[in-house]
Chains A and B, each alone.
Chain A
Amino acid sequence: MGFLFTTLIFIAVGVLASLLVRICCNKGPSANLFHLTLVITATVCCWMMWAIVYLAQMNPLIVPILSEE
């Protein structure tokens, strides 16, 4: 599960979601474009969040130091 692979999953989910939205609520071109924009924005936001957290842990400069208990 590398970075690129999960990114591909995100893209696939995004495409799938936009297709679903297109099929489920087809309300004319302007509404469809609106839905598409929403789905893309949401996917990009979620991907960014994941990517940031993933990248930050890829080459750790600090590692977990367990507390003494």
Chain B
Amino acid sequence: MGSVEGGCCPPMDLFRSEPMQLVQIIIPIESAHLTVSYLGELGLLQFKDLNAEKSPFQRTYAAQIKRCGEMARKLRFFREQMTKAGFTPSATPLTQAKIDLDGLEIKLGELEAELIEINGNSDKLQRAYNELVEYKLVLHKAGEFFHLAHNDATAQQREIEASHGDESSITSPLLDQEMSIDPSKQVKLGFVSGLVPREKSMAFERILFRATRGNVFLKQAVVSEPVTDPVSGEKVDKNVFVVFYSGERAKNKILKICDAFGANRYPFADDLGTQAQTVTEVSGRLSELKTTIDVGLVQRDNLLKTISNQFEQWNLLVRKEKSTYHTLNMFSVDVTKKCLVAEGWCPLFATTQLQDVLQRASFDSNSQVGAILQVLHTKESPPTYFRTNKFTTAFQEIVDAYGVAKYQEANPGLYTVVTFPFLFAVMFGDWGHGICLLLATLFFIVKEKKLSSQKLGDITEMTFGGRYVILMMSLFSIYTGLIYNEFFSVPFELFGPSAYACRDLSCKDSTTIGLIKVRRTYPFGVDPEWHGSRSELPFLNSLKMKMSILLGVAQMNLGIVLSFCNAKFFSNSVNVWFQFIPQLIFLNSLFGYLSVLIIVKWVTGSKADLYHVMIYMFLSPTDDLGENQLFDGQKTLQIVLLLLALVAVPWMLLPKPFILKKQHQERHQGQSYQPLHRNEDSLEVEVHHDSHGHEEFEFSEVFVHQLIHTIEFVLGAVSNTASYLRLWALSLAHSELSSVFYEKVLLLAWGYNNVIILIIGIIVFVCATVGVLLVMETLSAFLHALRLHWVEFQNKFYEGDGYKFYPFSFALLGDEEE
């Protein structure tokens, strides 16, 4: 298991996942907890759940997990309280004396009880306070009513008295006299006062009116500021009301309605003396309560402050404990009940570290017996583990997003580090845009330390995670931009003079026949003279299309070579002879040949039509090529290549299933005759073989699988090559867009000779460049590069059916629960 040797390459970082081993650890029960927590610190062991059939409640440490859950709940409660009170848990955990779980549990319980009590008290006090505030409002407003009413009444009285003096007045009502004179007939009116929420006040009034058939008098006054409702504790706009009624029945009805509307009632004295007395009483109690509440708040704040100092530490401890017990629950208990048996995957390089940790744990826990570590042999496929650093992680994630590599299979992530940004840059070639991208990503890289500790938004987070991918992308874009000779679509003569010049001094035919090549080819990149010329597009189209094919064929060949590395590594000679070689032949006899033709055509300057050559290579291979001949013996070569491609198809399809069948039969016979001689070596050998050996061998299934695989490859060779043309399309789109923005916005604005128009033009240009070219084009080029890697490159060799190594580690705990 896990032999590093073999394969075509010496061990290389990131090329193959770490060799893993399945280990069994037997831990004495008294040191189990410490051992597991030390292993969590180490974080290089992925435990297997040995109790998968047991429910969470049946497991050994269910009670402890419950305790931890309870403590976590308390901590969450503290966090809530702290955020409410505006405290943030101090980021730097105080390194206090180690607290054990039991101590912490008691402490948390005490703190919680204290906090709840304080909160309860302060809630009660607050409620009383709010009630008093409301009461005071009622006293104030209702006092105003009564005062006004009283004034009115006396004014009326006076008027009446005055009118009495003036008997001759005919207009004075007759009844007035009687009413004012006969006090015994006055009805004794009761009243209820209180506060009602403003939005309900209309309905309240209506219902009151209906319920009492209009025999009430309601007076409301708006309270200008929102009042804190004692029951809900929320700020609500309210009205003070006074309802006058007569009779006990009306009173009951009114009280019920008040309750239904959430209108708080407050007693109000009739006469002015008592009123004044109540007002002073209420004010006194208010200030008293205020101080009490303040004292309570200070007390609570102090408590929360002490909690916040240690909160992070406690939180971490509880989380660690919880995960430790979760892990312990995965262990099976030995029959003697004195040991726990753990199984897990760990990378081969970690064996000594693991042993050290086990030793340290058994020493620290004063255990008489040390833990025993032994390596198990298994047929199971180990998890895939790449040791990535901050630079390679993002690239590996690009690959993992498609599928996690099979254990020890060649990792496309290795080449992705370069080819992904390169293909991106082919589509995004503009060194001005490249520099913008570079500056943006340098900002992230310089602020890396600061940004990695804080929480970012979704999109920023993603950009930040891929900062090194973007760095590579921008560097390659600058390079390809120089090759395309585009700086915000403007060419520069950076590498010497243009190779083209006018035919004669008058330059008459430069717009009809064109320039003439007078010097050596422009040494680096596209000649600046092409820019803006009428033949620019035909030239660039032809160049970029051919470049896409050449790059695509090169990358697909790399993919096929990697499949060879895989076959060699897993010592699968069948795949070498009946998959790798025919695939290589097939692809190169068609598209490799096309690439050669392209290059030959460029080098010789021949006018041959390559479409014609390729099409008639299939339709009539024996025909004379005529003017399309590029070199001698081309016809013979084409026939040979065509035959090779035709042979390669059945070569891919037929032999492999039959050979697999034969191999299976041989192995099967061997097994049936000597089942007792299987020792560990033979087991190990078997692991390296295909997994077909263990199951029933279904020939038809294998054959169909191979058929699909062959068809996929043959059709894929054509469609994948065509798919690389997206490099041409996107690069064309990018350069056209940027030249449109430059010419139609910036130059147009410049032409007006007006500062304001120029400024507007610059603003529009910058917005368009940033929004369309730097953001949207980056995204689209990114996605297309992603597709070219996932589909066109990886389908040549990558299985991607592994599963990720997920070690038990305290360091990973934080991200997962937040």
Contact = CB atoms under 8 A, between A and B. Distances in A.
A33 B12 contact: yes
B500 A1 contact: no
Contacts of B370: none
B14 to A, nearest CB: 6
Contacts of B511: 65-68
B414 A33 contact: no
A37 interface: yes
Contacts of A48: 550-551, 554
Interface in B532-569: 532-536, 538-539, 542-543, 546-547, 550-551, 554
A56 interface: yes
Interface string B1-18: 000000001111111000
Nearest to B524: A50
Given A49-B547, A53-B483, A59-B602, A65 B13 contact: no
A58 interface: yes
A62 interface: yes
Nearest to B9: A33
Interface residues of A, number: 34
Contact of B522 (A30, A46, A55, A57): A57
Interface in B432-491: 476, 479-480, 483
Contact of A49 (B426, B530, B599, B602): B426
Contacts of B515: 63-66
A42 interface: yes
A62 B535 contact: yes
A interface secondary structure, majority: helix
Interface in B487-537: 496, 499-500, 510-517, 520-527, 529-530, 532-536
B414 A56 contact: no
A55 B514 contact: no
B514 A66 contact: yes
Contact of B546 (A56, A63, A65): A56
Nearest to A31: B13
A58 B603 CA distance: 7
A61 B539 CA distance: 9
Given A53-B543, A59-B603, A1 B12 contact: no
Given A48-B554, A67-B534, A56 B602 contact: yes
Interface stretch (B354-362, B416-424, B585-593): B416-424
Interface string B656-674: 0000000000000000000
Nearest to B417: A38
Contacts of B542: 56
A34 B13 contact: yes
A14 B605 CA distance: 30
Interface residues of B, number: 59
Nearest to A68: B511
Contacts of B500: 63-64
Nearest to A57: B521
B422 A55 contact: no
Contacts of A53: 483, 525-526, 543, 547
A6 interface: yes
Given A52-B550, A56-B543, A64 B514 contact: yes
A42 B607 contact: no
A26 to B, nearest CB: 13
Contact of A46 (B479, B534, B547): B479
A20 interface: no
Given A66-B510, A66-B514, A49 B535 contact: no
A49 B527 CA distance: 15
Contact of A64 (B479, B530, B547): B530
A65 B535 contact: yes
B415 interface: yes
Contacts of B605: 58-61
Nearest to A33: B12
Contacts of A57: 499, 521-522, 526-527
Contacts of A34: 12-15, 414
Contacts of A55: 599, 602-603
A42 B480 CA distance: 12
A63 B514 contact: yes
B291 interface: no
Interface string A13-54: 000000000000000011101100110011001101110111
Nearest to A36: B12
A52 B547 contact: yes
Contacts of B679: none
A42 B535 contact: no
B168 interface: no
Interface in B395-427: 414-415, 417-419, 422, 426
B604 interface: yes
A55 B522 CA distance: 10
23 contacts: A6-B523, A29-B10, A30-B10, A34-B12, A34-B14, A38-B417, A41-B418, A42-B422, A48-B551, A49-B483, A53-B543, A55-B599, A60-B517, A63-B514, A63-B535, A64-B536, A65-B510, A65-B533, A66-B510, A66-B515, A66-B534, A67-B532, A67-B533
Chain A to chain B: the 3 pairs with minimum beta-carbon distance, closest first:
A59-B605, A34-B13, A65-B514
Interface of B: 9-15, 414-415, 417-419, 422, 426, 476, 479-480, 483, 496, 499-500, 510-517, 520-527, 529-530, 532-536, 538-539, 542-543, 546-547, 550-551, 554, 599, 602-605, 607
Given A46-B479, A62-B535, 7 more contacts: A1-B523, A38-B414, A38-B418, A41-B419, A58-B521, A64-B515, A64-B536
